[in-house]
Amino acid sequence: MATDGPTPLERFISGILPENPVYRQLLGMCPTLAVTNGMQAAMTMAGATTFVLVMANLITSLIRNLLKPHLRILVFTLTIATFVTIADRFLAAYLYQMSKQLGPYIPLIIVNCIIISRCEICASKQGPFTAIADALGMGLGFTVALASIATIREVLGSGTWFGLRVLPEMWPDWVLMVLPPGAFLTLGLLLGTVNWLSSIKARKAKG
Amino acid sequence: MSDKGYITTAWLVLSLALLFGAALAGVEMLVADRIAANKLQETLSQVSVLVPGADEGKAYELEGQVFYQALAGGERIGWVIPAAATGFADKVEILIGVDAEVSTITGLYVLAQKETPGLGDRIREDAWRAQFKGKSTDSPIAVTKVAKPGPFEIRAVTGATISSKTVANLVNATIASVREPLQSAGE
Amino acid sequence: MSQELDTAPASDTDQAKAPRIVVAPSPHLSEGSFTTRRMMLDVLVALSPPVAVSIWVFGWYAVVQLGICVISCLVAEAAFIAWRGRAFTLGDGSAAVTGVILALSLPWSTPWYVGFIASFVAIGIGKVVFGGLGQNLFNPAMVGRAFVMICFPAALGAAAYVLPGSPLSIVTQATPLTALKQGLVESSDVLSLLIGNTNGSLGETSAIACLLGGLYLCLRRTASWEIPAGTILSVAVISGAGYLISGSSFLHPLHHILGGALLFGAFFIATDPVSSPLTVKGKWFFGLGLGAIVMLLRLASGYPEGLMFAVLLMNAVTPLINRFTIPDPVGGPVPQRN
């Protein structure tokens, strides 16, 4: 089965930038906006999402030949919900403060469209090795996207990065950046920049 | 497929559900104790800060409301009272520490708030909260703007009079309403 | 439209020689002198009384603030234009107008970086990302001010206006509307609200200066008189009703009209032709709604003044107002085809 469709390496690479889940597919907008006011929260979210992506893709890929078309969405959701719950419980046990800070956004990974779209597009059609490569690529792409937004918001909004002071004490915190409007502004400007860069690339490729 | 019946087409879902359910039960068994300990630890760590000298926090239900008893060596030396009110932006949730007779405030902690960052959210700062410490509950606490507040006064956060008043009024109202029941519960 | 007709033969692009027929809706005649540049110069002339009063009241603070904002706006405009490779548009004066209005809407005490950031946000996020002048949905100056207002609440909140013990005696007292918010009603008399020797944002203190500049704008038809008229009418009715019902505990309607940024905003900010409605009926709606939101924010929100948010909110519904107030063409409505 692994012969048809992209190879594992192609899947892995396309997830990072060419098909970046946030900047290219505009999926997973809810955590992208909600938990990016600090790097710590954003990276915890990215890690949990990647874990769920890998596990859901792996399980789906292993049972792909048993899937019935009309039951597949049910099976995807069941699988995703199971691993999200596992991630949620482990965060509550080992990173209690972070779990409190992320609040409902960890359980909400269940409805993150990145995961179910990867189950549908890749894992239900290709072998486990390709599926894991795909999940890792997409997870890395998601991580890169969250990190770029969270870096801008945390540095401008709090003068810190991962909670460590990076700007001088006299830096006036841009409070707006850690509030919800800052998320929309940052995402909008970064999306615009990505589109601008790719339009330049396309123009160069043309001639 | 149509003649096979629901059970036969759904066997995959059913067996997956069983498998996943068992896996979740396993995870729960593994981490449940740790999560419970985390939650207890959080309350306890606040109790010992809010009522100095306490080494144990214990929930105490009175008239449908939950209080925490601050215990030192098994003996009650104070109370921690949760309270909430609407501030400038949204609900402000605080914990008030008082001594066993509810006569002196021993501490104040802001659990949750969404006041203006940089202004109203400075009610979380230690220096501001420390003003409540040692205040007698004989008279309500008033908010003032002068540099040297009187015995029943606290200084407002600069530029955030509403947030400051919210907390002070909340403390006054809460203590007024729970003083009697808690004092009688102490006997 | 007529300009397109004028310039059509002159523009020799790829298919230059072919006769070019431009089809455009009426009116086919328009006043040639009515250009962006003329309008912006009018606004600058009209802004001179408030500028003069602000310099009289706040001295060097006003001069410095105006300098920072105007220069930052011009630099931002030049930078963004250069980046996008567009035609040089500094000459139309719109960036300078944005800078002056922004400066006049800030407190005297605002640190330099606040005006600087506000200017770049005003030009960049308020105007350029929408496609430049004429495409912007919101008033650029107010976008910039809202950004810094939320970013630096300590620099723009009610407390920023007051500095006890300052040699400038005006800034030792609360602004008239903050005084209302804190229940100190009798803080400023109507005369000082008219002349402008009260505390407040730089350009808003003097009602007479705002009226002078505003009337000039309306007479020159650079601003539509319906918008300020609607705003003032709506504030007068709401505050008048409140005054009649709850009596002295409510600020006198004159305080509501003359105090705060109401007149400054109604004449200079709300009348921005790009972000306000096109039709006469729509302009009335815009003005009335603006006054109502200002009163709502003054009375029910945590802020003493609500003009900035009111303008932004009404800007947001401007496309909707335009759609609902399309005038009937001469000769009756266009028959529907099936």
- For C45-65, the DSSP string reads HHHHHHHHHHHHHHTHHHHHH
The predicted-structure confidence for B56-91, as pLDDT tens digits, reads as follows 777 777 777 778 888 877 788 888 888 888 887 778
* Closest Cα in chain B, distance from residue A127 (Å): 19
Give the residue on B whose Cα is nearest the Cα of C159.
B159
Q: Which of C138, C108, C102, C136 lies closest to C120, judged by CA?
A: C102
Q: How many Å apart are CA C258 and CA C270, to the nearest integer? A: 16
**Residue C201 DSSP label:** B
Task: Examine residue A186 and state whether it is found in any structural domain, yes or no.
Answer: no
**C103 inside domain:** yes
End-to-end alpha carbon distance in chain C: 31
Give the mean pLDDT per block of 10 residues along chain C (338 residues). Answer: 42 57 71 77 91 89 93 92 76 88 90 92 90 88 92 78 70 72 60 80 88 92 91 93 77 82 92 90 94 90 84 94 86 73
CA-based torsion, C313, C314, C319, C321: positive or negative: positive
pLDDT value at residue B187: 52
Whether B118 has its CB under 8 Å from any CB of chain C: the answer is yes
Q: Report chain A's C-alpha Rg in angstroms.
A: 18
What is residue C7's predicted lDDT score, i.e. its pLDDT? 43
Contact A56, A76 (CB under 8 A): yes
For residue A180, say if its preceding peptide bond is cis, omega within 30 degrees of 0: no
Those residues whose C-beta lies under 8 Å from the C-beta of residue C186, and which sit 6 or more positions away, are none
Nearest to C200 by CA among C302, C108, C309: C108
Phi (first) and psi of residue B126, to 5 degrees: -55, -45
Domain membership flag for residue A187: no
Residue C239: which CATH number?
Answer: 1.10.3430
Looking at chain A, list the stretches that DSSP marks H as alpha helix, in order from N- to C-terminal side. 8-16, 29-34, 39-62, 72-94, 96-102, 113-118, 128-158, 175-178, 180-206
The partner residue sitting opposite C150, judged by closest CB among A172, A176, A189, is A176
The number of distinct structural domains making up chain B is 1
Look at residue C338 and tell me if it is in a domain. no
Residue B136 lies in a domain: yes
Residues in chain C with CB shorter than 8 Å from the CB of B89 are: 302
- Is A60 inside a domain boundary? yes
Nearest 5 degrees, angle CA C152-CA C156-CA C157?
105
Could you read off the pLDDT of B110-141 as tens digits, one per residue? 877 777 766 777 788 888 888 888 888 888 88
Do A175 and C152 count as a contact with CB atoms less than 8 A apart? yes
Chain C residues inside the 8 Å CB shell of A179: 150
pTM: 0.79
Q: Say how far apart CA B79 and CA B90 lie, in whole Å.
A: 26
Q: Could you tell me if residue C336 is inside a domain?
A: no
Q: What is the DSSP letter of C173?
A: S
* Minimal-distance CA residue of chain A relative to B114: A179
B150 touches chain A (CB under 8 A): no
Which residue ranges of chain A lie beneath pLDDT 50? 1-2
pLDDT at B74: 75
Show the tokens assigned to A187. 């995402």
Nearest to C105 by CA among C174, C50, C173, C49: C50
Domain presence at residue A204: no
- DSSP three-state, residue C29: coil
Amino acid at B152: F
- What single string gives the DSSP state of each residue in A115-162? HHHHIIIIITTS-HHHHHHHHHHHHHHHHHHHHHHHHHHHHHHHSEET
Of B118, B161, B162, the CB nearest to C153: B118
Task: List, as ranges, residues 72-91 from B with C-beta within 8 Å of A.
Answer: none
User: Contact B16/A179, CB-based, under 8 Å?
Assistant: no
What tens digit of pLDDT does each residue of B93-111 get? 888 888 888 888 888 888 7
Tell me what pLDDT residue B147 has. Answer: 67
Contacts of B13 in chain A (CB under 8 A): 71, 74-75, 78
Q: C92 is written with which tokens?
A: 């139309």
Q: How far is CA C177 from the centre of its chain?
A: 19
What is the pLDDT at residue C87? 72
Write out the DSSP string of C109-152: T--HHHHHHHHHHHHHTTTGGGTSTTT-SS-HHHHHHHHHHHH-
Tell me the residue range of the domain where B132 lies.
Answer: 49-185
What total of structural domains would you count in chain C?
1
Contacts of B9 in chain A (CB under 8 A): 68, 71
Displacement of CA B116 from its chain's centroid (Å): 20
Residue type, B181: P
- Tell me what the pLDDT averaged over chain B comes to: 81
Tell me the chain A residues in contact with residue C151 when contact means C-beta distances shorter than 8 Å.
174-177
What's the start-to-end Cα distance of chain A, in Å?
A: 39
What is the structure's pLDDT at C165? 65
| Domains: count for chain A | 1
CB contact, 8 Å: B125 with chain C?
A: no
Q: What is the rounded end-to-end Cα distance, in angstroms, of chain B?
A: 73
The pLDDT of residue C83 is 82
Domain that holds residue C231: 36-321
Residues of B in contact with A85 (CB under 8 A): 24, 27
Average pLDDT over residues B5-15: 79
Interface of A with B (CB under 8 A): 63, 66-68, 71, 74-75, 78-79, 82, 85-86, 89-90, 92-94, 96, 173, 175, 178-179
Determine contact: B35 vs chain A, CB below 8 A: yes
> What gap in Å lies between CA A156 and CA A175, rounded to an integer?
8
In sequence order, the 6+-apart residues with CB closer than 8 A to the CB of C214 are C46, C223, C228, C263, C266, C267, C268
CB neighbour class for A114 (10 Å; exposed up to 12, middle 13-18, buried from 19): buried
A:161-200 residues touching chain C, CB 8 A cutoff: 172, 174-177, 179, 181, 185, 188-189, 192
The answer as to whether B75 is a domain residue is: yes
Give the residue from chain A lying closest to B39, CA to CA. A96
Q: Which residue of A has its CA nearest to C113?
A: A172
Q: What are chain C's partners, defined as 3 or more CB pairs within 8 angstroms?
A: A, B
Is C30 a domain residue? no
Please state, in angstroms and rounded to a whole number, the distance separating the CA atoms of residues A147 and A49.
14
B153-155 vs B142-144, strand pairing mode: parallel
Q: Which of A127, A121, A180 is nearest to A153 (CA)?
A: A180
Coil, helix or strand at residue C331? coil
Q: Answer whether residue B68 is part of any domain.
A: yes
Contact C235, C261 (CB under 8 A): no
Residue A81 domain-assigned (yes or no): yes
The answer as to whether A169 is a domain residue is: no
H helical segments located in chain B:
6-9, 11-50, 126-130, 161-185
Token match 């899937």: residue?
A67
Q: Residue A15: helix, strand or coil by DSSP?
A: helix
Range(s) of the domain holding residue A63:
8-150
Q: Nearest CA to B90 among B64, B111, B76? A: B111
Q: Residue count of chain A, please give it.
A: 207
On whether residue B4 sits in a domain, the answer given is: no
Task: Give the model's pLDDT for residue B75.
Answer: 80
- Whether B17 and chain A come into contact, CB under 8 Å, resolves to yes
Rounded to 10 degrees, the C-alpha dihedral C80/C131/C322/C215 comes to 30
Distance from CA of C34 to the nearest CA of A (A): 35
Task: Choose from C138, C149, C151 for mutation: most chain A CBs within 10 A.
Answer: C151
CA distances from C97 to B136, C35, C156 (A): 57, 15, 21
Q: Is residue A189 part of a domain?
A: no
C111 to chain A: which residues are within 8 Å by CB?
172
